[in-house]
Amino acid sequence: MQGYRFTDFVPEDTVREGTYDSLWNIYKELLLITAGDPNEALSWLTNLDKQYHISTKNYGIGDFIDDLKKKGYLSENPENGKLKITAKTESDFRKSALEEIFGKLRKSGSGNHKTFVNGQGDEKGVDLRDFQFGDSPDNISMTNSIRNAQINHGTGEFMLTEGDLEVVDNEYRTQTSTVLMIDISHSMILYGEDRITPAKKVAMALSELILKKYKKDTLDVIVFGNDAWQIEIKDLPYLSVGPYHTNTVAGLELAMDILRKRKNHNKQIFMITDGKPTCMKVGVKYYKNSFGLDPKIIKQTLNLAASCRKLNIPITTFMIASDPYLKQFVKEFTAANNGNAYYSDLKGLGNIVFEDFKKNRRKNYRW
C-alpha cells in the first residue's frame, strides 16, 4: 500500500525574506566597520557568503542588492555605477543601534525626562494639592473635590467651594543639552581592536533616543583627534579613525563653545575615549607627546575640566581602557570637574551611557 509523506511547507517568499534579513543584519555591521562604504561592505559580504553560505540558491547576493535598491537603502550613481547609502539607511542605523543597546532596558515612560519637582509643567502627575488661583480647570480632580465637599458641608445640600477643590499637579519636565565627544585618534583601532564601531553605535542610539523620545533636548556630536570639529548626526555611520593624536583640549573647548549657546539650564558633556591626551595646539603649531602623561598637556586639560565645573557643566568620561596610569589621570580629571568616570569594556558601553544620561538629567536639574 502506497503511503504519503508529509513535510513542513515553507513558502518561497518566507525563505527569501529570512535570507534577506540575515544578509541585511550582517551588511549593516559591515557598513559601520567600513565607515559607510557600501561597495567595500558588499565585497566583504560576498567573501563571507562564499565561506559561510549565507545566501541560498533561490536568493543570492545579486537579489539582495536589487532589494536594497527597491527598498530605498541604496542608490546608484548612473555615471560610474558606484553605490551610495541613503538617508533611509542612516535612519535605520540609528533605530537598530537603539534597539540593540537600549532595547532590553526597562521603559521609563514617554515624553521628556522626569524630575522630582512639581509645578506648571506639561504632563499630569499623580500628586494632589489644593487649588490655587491660576490653575487650569482641566487639572481639577472632580472625584476628590466632590468628596471634600461632602465631608466639609455634609450631604443634605450639595455645595462646592474653592476650598474643596483639589488639582492634579503637573510634572515639570527638564530640557537638557548634551555634547557627545568621540575620540577618533589612531589608538581607537590599535592592536587589532575595533573601538570606534561600538562608539558610533552608542552615538547613534543616543541620538535616536533623543530625537524620538526627548524632542526638546539637544544633542551635538563632536569628534577629536589632532583637532576637534562638529559632525551632523546623519554623518555618524561614515565616521572613521585617522592617523591622529588625542587633542582632548580642543574637544573640550569646542564642547564648551557649543553649550554656551544653548539656553537650557541643564548641560553636560559625555566623552568616549580610550587614551590619554597627547596633543594640544599652541598658537598655530601642535605640541605633541605620546610618551606618558605630558605635564603641559595634562595641566591645560585639567584647567578646562575645572572651567566646566564653574559653568555647572558636568563631564562624564567613558574610558575604554583600564591602564593604571590612565586611571590616575581620569581620577584627577573627574575630581577637577566633579563629574563621573566609567571604565567600560566595549560590550557594556551602551548601557552605561544610557543609565548615566538619565541620572545626570535628574541630578543636574535646577530652578
* Domain match, 264 and 205 both: yes
User: E strand or H helix at 305, and its extent?
Assistant: helix 295-310
Does the structure show a pLDDT above 90 at 312? yes
Q: Bin 134: left if φ > 0, else alpha if -120 < ψ < 50, else beta.
A: left
* Domain match, 256 and 341 both: yes
Domain count of the fold of the chain: 3
Look at residue 103 in the predicted model and tell me its pLDDT.
58
C-alpha cell at 7: 513535510
Long-range contacts, 279-285 (Cβ 8 Å, 24+): 279/226, 279/244, 279/245, 279/246, 279/247, 279/249, 280/247, 280/249, 280/250, 281/227, 281/247, 281/249, 281/250
Evaluate whether residue 105 is within a structural domain: no
Average pLDDT of the segment spanning 343-357: 71
Look at residue 127 in the predicted model and tell me its pLDDT.
65
More confident residue, 168 or 233: 233
Digit-coded pLDDT (tens) for 39-69: 999 999 999 999 999 998 889 999 999 999 9
* Domain match, 225 and 144 both: no
Does the structure show a pLDDT above 50 at 342? yes
pTM: 0.73
Average pLDDT, the chain: 83
Nearest in space to 31 (alpha carbons), one of 21, 42, 20, 22: 42
* Domain match, 206 and 349 both: yes
| Dist. CA 65–CA 254, nearest whole Å | 41
How much of the chain exceeds pLDDT 90, in percent?
Answer: 46
Evaluate whether residue 99 is within a structural domain: no
Give the domain extent around 38. 12-85
CA atoms within 13 A on the CB side of 362: 10
Write out the E strands in 109-217: 114-119, 123-130, 166-173, 176-183
More confident residue, 171 or 319: 319
Average pLDDT of the segment spanning 121-147: 74
Look at residue 125 in the predicted model and tell me its pLDDT.
53
Task: Print burial letters for 127-156: b (CB count within 10 Å at least 16), e (below 16).
Answer: eeeebeeebeeebebeeebeebbeeeeeee
Domain boundary among 85, 100, 115: 85
Average pLDDT of the segment spanning 282-288: 95
Digit-coded pLDDT (tens) for 199-246: 898 889 889 888 887 888 899 999 999 999 999 999 999 999 999 999
Look at residue 159 in the predicted model and tell me its pLDDT.
85
Look at residue 360 in the predicted model and tell me its pLDDT.
65
More confident residue, 310 or 158: 310
Look at residue 114 in the predicted model and tell me its pLDDT.
43
* Domain match, 238 and 292 both: yes
Average pLDDT of the segment spanning 247-269: 95
Evaluate whether residue 359 is within a structural domain: yes
* Domain match, 257 and 296 both: yes
* Domain match, 23 and 76 both: yes
* Domain match, 129 and 168 both: yes
Q: What is the residue whose three cell numbers read 568620561?
A: 317
Does the structure show a pLDDT above 80 at 71? yes
Does the structure show a pLDDT above 50 at 279? yes
What is the 8-class DSSP label of residue 148? H
pLDDT tier at 254, thresholds 50, 70, 90: very high
Average pLDDT of the segment spanning 344-354: 70
Write out the E strands in 19-152: 74-76, 83-85, 114-119, 123-130
